[in-house]
Amino acid sequence: MWAGRQPHPISPLVGEMPGRAEGGAIRRAVALVFALFTALLPLPALAQNRPDVEKQFQRWIVGDLGPAAKKAGISDGTLKIAFQGVTLNWDLPDLVPPGTKPPKQQDQSQAEFSSPGAYFSEKRLQGLAATGRGLFSTHAAVLRRIEAAYGVPGEIVVAIWGRESGFGRAKLPFSAVQVLATKAFMSTRKDMFREELIAALKMIERGDADPATMKGSWAGALGQPQFMPSSYLKYAVDFDRDGHADIWNSVPDALASIAHYLQKEGWQRSRDWGFEVSIPQNVSCAQEGPDLARPVSAWAATGITRISGKAFPSADLKADGMMLVPAGRHGPEFIVTPNFYVLKQYNNSDLYALFIGNLADRIASGAGPFQAPWGDVGKMLRSDVLAMQKALVARGYDVGNVDGLPGYKTRRSLGDWQAKNGLAPTCFPDPSLKGKIR
Ligand SMILES: [Ca+2]
């Protein structure tokens, strides 16, 4: 059915084998072994020329993606319209064209591992907060209706809107189908992008968007909330009731879709995201993580207080909170609520969730930066952190992913190790510990 499948390079040789003289057969057998050998040998990667790869891409659309899309309920007509004139986008990052190898993981381990403080650009936060406050009052009525419907406060929704797309002002120049198809065909994360491409085709099939106006980022994230297509299918809502969940052009749809996402991921109504706190020196920093949740009142009983001097809200006192010290003892300290982990569902990073929480506080109540400074944690490479993680694992500690990034399990295991070895726990890797944990 599909003419594009590549012939196996040695099949003609095998076909010639029967009925020939012995000498010729031996020569051919040697040639066969040689052919097999060269076929299996990891030859230096030869990038194929672009016109050839483009042809392979077109054959892949028809012969590989097409049947999978059909299975998912996509009609031939939709497939045809979606891929009309679509060619590969060679300018995208993380591409692995046929005949080339993915970039080595090793290079990443040599990357400098920077202080969490670098994430919180005061200039950027002030800019987003100022614009956000203006838009919060412009859209106050719709934000109130959104909070009533989904339980998510307007300032959280506006903060995500600002961070994701500059309140819908960011340019989204890429064709989502082209980006997703290029990455599904040749990138480091083909499988994930293939699923997202099929989800995008479903959106076209349902009439949610048409290929020409379905614009996204270089990573395939769509519209003002920057949803991947699978998130659009799950969470996008038509809040202005014009018949389409239009996250590109309708502010009410974009904002309500963000709130709906958080609600579906478990946002708890009437609870904060978290609080910057001060942890007394005699309370261990090695108590982080969602698996060590305790009522906020229990944390308060240990002497932990809000750094603002205000009391914890009574709704939060009775309910669970978790310690969070993203830079260990070298930076701001927090008691967060389960809503913090809901923010991480939007973008799986502690620092992202803290950024949104802080920006929301600035929009709602004119708050400023976190009060405790982000301290200097020295220069470290990811490979240094990796070595510490391996040493801790060898001693029976759970560090989570052994990836050179100090997540909460690494931080608290480090704090426990420090305490056990007579050191004041800092719960964060620093150069002075490099030689000590082996
Ligand atoms: Ca709409």
Beta strands in 71-222 (DSSP E): 112-113, 174-175, 215-216
**DSSP H/E element including 124:** helix 122-138
| Interior/surface letters 343-353, b for 16+ CB within 10 angstroms, e for the rest | bbebeeebebb
Ligand 1 centroid to Cα of residue 172, in Å, is 19
Ligand 1 centroid to Cα of residue 239, in Å, is 6
Ligand 1 centroid to Cα of residue 8, in Å, is 52
CA distance 267 to 151: 7
pLDDT higher than threshold 90 for residue 398: yes
What is the per-residue pLDDT for 3?
33
Ligand 1 centroid to Cα of residue 251, in Å, is 9
Question: How confident is residue 15, by pLDDT bands cut at 50, 70 and 90?
Answer: very low
Ligand 1 centroid to Cα of residue 210, in Å, is 15
Q: Look at 400 and 377; give whichever has higher pLDDT.
A: 400
Asked whether 329 and 288 are in contact (CB, 8 A), the reply is no
Q: What's the whole-model pTM score?
A: 0.86
Which among 82, 63, 57, 59 has a CA at the least distance from the CA of 202? Answer: 82
Ligand 1 centroid to Cα of residue 144, in Å, is 17
pLDDT in tens, 415-431: 999 999 999 999 999 88
Q: How far is CA 248 from the centre of its chain?
A: 21
Asked whether 262 and 156 are in contact (CB, 8 A), the reply is yes
Ligand 1 centroid to Cα of residue 343, in Å, is 24
* SS3 call for 368: coil
What is the per-residue pLDDT for 108?
61
Ligand 1 centroid to Cα of residue 156, in Å, is 21
What is the per-residue pLDDT for 135?
98
CA distance 343 to 160: 9
pLDDT higher than threshold 70 for residue 13: no
CA distance 179 to 170: 17
Which among 30, 48, 134 has a CA at the least distance from the CA of 95? Answer: 48
Structure tokens at 420: 């056990």
Average pLDDT estimate for 397-418 = 95
Q: Look at 299 and 379; give whichever has higher pLDDT.
A: 299
The domain 46-97+122-143+157-268 having CATH identifier 3.40.50.1000: the answer here is: no
Question: How confident is residue 102, by pLDDT bands cut at 50, 70 and 90?
Answer: confident
Structure tokens at 251: 């502010």
Average per-residue pLDDT for the chain: 89
pLDDT higher than threshold 90 for residue 28: no
Asked whether 102 and 188 are in contact (CB, 8 A), the reply is yes
Average pLDDT estimate for 363-387 = 91
Ligand 1 centroid to Cα of residue 331, in Å, is 43
Q: Look at 333 and 29; give whichever has higher pLDDT.
A: 333
Beta strands in 162-308 (DSSP E): 174-175, 215-216, 274-278, 294-295, 305-306
pLDDT in tens, 260-316: 999 999 999 999 999 999 999 999 999 999 999 999 999 999 999 999 999 999 999
What is the per-residue pLDDT for 321?
98
CA distance 438 to 436: 6
The letter for the amino acid at 247 is I
pLDDT in tens, 190-248: 999 999 999 999 999 999 999 999 999 999 999 999 999 999 999 999 999 999 999 99
HSE at residue 193, side-chain half, CA atoms within 13 A, is 21
Catalytic site residue from 16, 54, 155, 164? 164
pLDDT higher than threshold 50 for residue 258: yes
- Annotated catalytic residue 164: yes
Ligand 1 centroid to Cα of residue 333, in Å, is 41
What is the per-residue pLDDT for 41?
45
Average pLDDT estimate for 340-363 = 96
**Lowest pLDDT segment from 71-80, 85-94, 359-368, 379-388:** 379-388
CA distances from 106 to 98, 147, 187, 387 (A): 21, 46, 18, 13
Q: How far is CA 36 from the centre of its chain?
A: 41
CA distance 24 to 15: 14
What is the per-residue pLDDT for 432?
87
Structure tokens at 37: 């050998």
Average pLDDT estimate for 74-88 = 97
pLDDT higher than threshold 70 for residue 42: no
Ligand 1 centroid to Cα of residue 125, in Å, is 30
What is the per-residue pLDDT for 377?
81
What is the per-residue pLDDT for 107?
57
CA distances from 396 to 50, 145, 162, 399, 426 (A): 50, 51, 43, 9, 20
Phi, psi of 428 (to 5 degrees): -155, 140
pLDDT in tens, 121-178: 999 999 999 999 999 999 999 999 999 999 999 999 999 999 999 999 999 999 999 9
pLDDT in tens, 176-192: 999 999 999 999 999 99
